[in-house]
């Protein structure tokens, strides 16, 4: 098992604190849930009305794939493995990008297409947020969130006792962090009346969280490498501890000062804030 070097701070920690700082303890997040919605018929009618029947026939395969991907995402989630769910979401997102002009051209008298999504951190899945009938931003933002969530679960489920497993965990957390970074930069600012998990604050929080977890695993690898001089190893470790500390500190710093965000995290899992606080304290002490 990979372990950190023992410090005076580590020696003074309680058993509960040690449990929180166990390198095998990582955080992952649940997926957002959504209500079913029919896409094929209303979009095909729109193409016929706006263009022609022949044009509708040309895009039928795309519309059928779009509809199937969303149906699988809603109805077959429990039957699909995490990688299969990921493939389904990526394919669906690409299809959404292809047909996005159709959504923006929906007129007020057209059949409405309303997407309803629920907050991933609300265990009761209440207070769902619906989009306007011509707003596809919520749908794309929610899909990006779920891609990040799936990669967080893939990372948490990997075997971290092997070199390959640790590599897969790191890469999965890095991919999750990138999805949440894109969510923050591209969609979160433009999604109107979004659930709290789709806000800029939470997207930034999740980006820093999974970046920190990936960096912590990289640090563990550094601590187990041999060959460098003791002084060089100490220098590298100090820099690495400082880097991991800053990432955890950024994540932790976004939650406690915001009462709504803190309540939101506690509603999902009240150990999260404590977990992050212990990580920040530990890595800050080791960096010094």
pLDDT band (50, 70, 90) for residue 105: low
Domain range enclosing 168:
8-28+160-287
Residue 96 lies in a domain: no
Query: What is the pLDDT averaged over residues 58-81?
Result: 86
pLDDT for the residue 213: 93
Q: What is the pLDDT of residues 181-220, one digit of tens each?
A: 999 988 877 776 678 888 888 899 999 999 999 999 888 8
- In Å, how far are 72, 131, 221, 234 from 1, measured between CA atoms? 39, 48, 11, 21
Q: What pLDDT is attached to residue 12?
A: 33
Summary mean pLDDT of the chain: 80
Q: What is the dihedral of CA 265, 267, 269, 275, to 10 degrees?
A: 40
**197 occurs within a structural domain:** yes
| 219 domain residue, yes or no | yes
pLDDT bin (cut points 50, 70, 90) of residue 11 is very low
Residue with tokens 């965000």: 261
* 275 located within any domain: yes
193 domain residue, yes or no: yes
Q: Is residue 62 part of a domain?
A: no
CATH number of residue 236's parent domain: 1.25.40.280
Give the pTM: 0.84
pLDDT of residue 13: 40
Give me the number of domains the chain comprises.
1
Cα→Cα distances 128→96, 202, 223, Å:
21, 17, 45
Q: Average the pLDDT over 93-112 and give the result.
A: 75
Instruction: Please give the C-alpha separations between residue 262 and each of 49, 142, 255, in angstroms, as whole numbers.
Output: 48, 21, 5
Taking residues 60-64, report their average pLDDT: 90
Output 6 or 40, whichever has higher pLDDT. 40
Q: Is residue 201 part of a domain?
A: yes
Higher-confidence residue of 9 and 44: namely: 44
Q: Is residue 151 part of a domain?
A: no
């Amino acid at each position: 098992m990979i372990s950190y070097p023992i410090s005076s701070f580590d020696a003074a920690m309680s058993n509960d604190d040690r449990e929180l700082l166990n390198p095998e303890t990582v955080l992952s997040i649940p997926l957002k849930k959504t209500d079913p919605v029919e896409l094929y018929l209303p979009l095909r009618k729109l193409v016929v009305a706006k263009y022609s029947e022949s044009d509708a026939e040309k895009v039928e395969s795309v519309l059928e794939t779009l509809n199937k991907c969303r149906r699988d995402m809603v109805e077959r989630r429990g039957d699909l493995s995490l990688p299969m769910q990921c493939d389904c979401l990526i394919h669906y997102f690409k299809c959404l990008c292809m047909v996005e002009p159709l959504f923006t051209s929906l007129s007020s008298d057209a059949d409405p297409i309303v997407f309803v999504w629920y907050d991933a951190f609300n265990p009761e899945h209440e207070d769902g947020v619906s989009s306007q009938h011509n707003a596809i931003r919520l749908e794309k933002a929610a899909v990006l969130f779920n891609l990040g969530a799936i990669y967080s679960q893939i990372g948490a489920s990997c075997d971290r006792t092997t070199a390959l497993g640790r590599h897969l965990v790191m890469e999965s957390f890095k991919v999750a962090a990138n999805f949440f970074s894109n969510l923050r930069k591209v969609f979160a600012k433009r999604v109107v009346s979004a659930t709290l998990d789709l806000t800029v604050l939470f997207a930034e929080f999740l980006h820093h969280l999974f970046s920190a977890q990936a960096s912590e695993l990289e640090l563990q690898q550094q601590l187990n490498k041999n060959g460098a001089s003791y002084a060089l190893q100490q220098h590298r470790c100090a820099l690495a501890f400082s880097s991991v500390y800053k990432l955890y500190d950024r994540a932790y710093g976004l939650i406690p000062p915001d009462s709504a965000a803190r309540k939101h995290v506690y509603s999902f899992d009240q150990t999260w804030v404590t977990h992050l606080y212990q990580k920040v304290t530990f890595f800050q002490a080791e960096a010094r």
